[in-house]
């Protein structure tokens, strides 16, 4: 078999391009990934493209958070009503919440460290990667896009930045959950009332417990879209550089101390 076939049959390779998105290894800061898991369990794993684990932890966070009244307690704490915050917590659910919350932080940190090691090995192996994927439903290919566009679309609606860079799985998950948060928080209803000048009604209609999910999901969507746009651009350059070397550069060409030697 040709050594340069983009079949992704090597022991380790840097990326895989499929109709559902581009999955790749790149160096990440374990503390940043752990911080995102601390902000919202599941986000750290989604940043690592560990989708199944990320989905489970995300859904767990939403369900147990609502049942334990964690967001409500946080709102009371922000207002200095510490006794009310303590009273509103449901310890039957809270004691389940804490171990999984800590696991999400620890596991995302551990996984990041491991994946960084795999990245260094894959980079050394330098196996060709597939750069184009076509199926009955979608087409995906490596190209360069603007990171700022990813952020701007994520600010309009979380998930659109991921669609822009063809992270289909993350995009659908984020968009669906944003719709859920919009519906139960009554945020869009409040915005409509605000435009009509009904400020008190707009404030009264909001459900703060669900509203508190928005800072995390907006921040994650923008960060994930930006980082993956930058890394996809790097991957495009890496694949193009290797292709040109294999097909157009003379085997005898070397660079020694800043001088070309043939």
Report the Cα–Cα distance between both ends of the chain, in Å, rounded. 29
List, in sequence order, every residue forming a beta bridge with 134; answer none if it has no partner: 139
pLDDT tens-digit profile, the chain (262 residues): 444 445 556 678 888 898 998 889 899 999 999 999 999 999 999 999 999 999 999 999 999 999 999 999 998 998 888 899 889 998 889 888 999 999 999 999 999 999 999 999 988 888 888 888 898 888 998 999 999 999 999 999 999 999 999 999 999 999 999 999 999 999 999 999 999 989 999 889 999 999 999 999 999 999 999 999 999 999 999 888 888 888 887 777 777 766 655 5
88-99 burial string, b = 16+ CB within 10 Å, else e? ebeeebbeebee
Residue-level pLDDT at 3: 45
Residue 243 has a pLDDT of 84
Report how far apart, in Å, the C-alpha atoms of 50 and of each of 45, 72, 97, 100, 115 are. Answer: 5, 30, 21, 16, 11
Q: For residues 223 and 141, what is the distance between their CA atoms, to the nearest angstrom? A: 22
Give me the pLDDT at residue 8, please. Answer: 56
Structure tokens belonging to residue 200: 């008190």
Distance, CA of 42 to CA of 103 (rounded, Å): 10
Residue extents of the structural domains in the chain: 15-249
**Helix and strand counts by DSSP (H, E) for the chain:** 13, 6
Q: What does the block give as tokens for 184?
A: 């139960």
Joined together, the tokens standing for residue 23 give: 């999955």
Q: What is the pTM of this model?
A: 0.87
CA distance 229 to 198: 40
Residue 1 has a pLDDT of: 40
């Amino acid at each position: 078999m040709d050594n340069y076939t983009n079949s992704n049959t090597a022991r380790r390779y840097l990326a895989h391009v499929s109709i559902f998105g581009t999955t790749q290894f790149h160096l990440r800061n374990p503390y940043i990934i752990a911080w995102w898991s601390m902000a919202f369990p599941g986000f750290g794993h989604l940043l690592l493209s560990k989708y199944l684990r990320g989905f489970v932890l995300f859904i767990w966070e939403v369900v147990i958070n609502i049942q334990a009244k964690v967001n409500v307690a946080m709102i009371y704490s922000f207002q200095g009503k510490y006794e009310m915050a303590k009273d509103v917590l449901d310890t039957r659910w809270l004691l389940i919440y804490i171990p999984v919350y800590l696991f999400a932080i620890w596991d995302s940190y551990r996984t990041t460290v491991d994946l960084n090691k795999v990245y260094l090995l894959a980079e050394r192996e330098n196996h060709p990667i597939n750069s184009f994927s076509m199926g009955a439903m979608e087409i995906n290919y490596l190209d360069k896009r603007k990171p700022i566009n990813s952020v701007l679309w994520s600010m309009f609606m979380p998930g659109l930045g991921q669609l822009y860079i063809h992270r289909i799985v993350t995009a659908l998950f984020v968009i669906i959950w944003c719709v859920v948060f919009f519906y139960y928080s009554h945020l869009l209803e409040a915005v409509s009332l605000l435009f009509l000048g009904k400020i008190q009604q707009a404030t009264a209609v909001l459900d703060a417990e669900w509203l508190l999910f928005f800072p995390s999901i907006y921040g994650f969507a923008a960060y994930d879209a930006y980082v993956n746009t930058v890394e996809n651009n790097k991957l495009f350059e890496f694949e193009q550089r290797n292709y040109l070397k294999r097909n157009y550069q003379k085997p005898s060409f070397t660079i020694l101390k800043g001088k070309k030697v043939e």
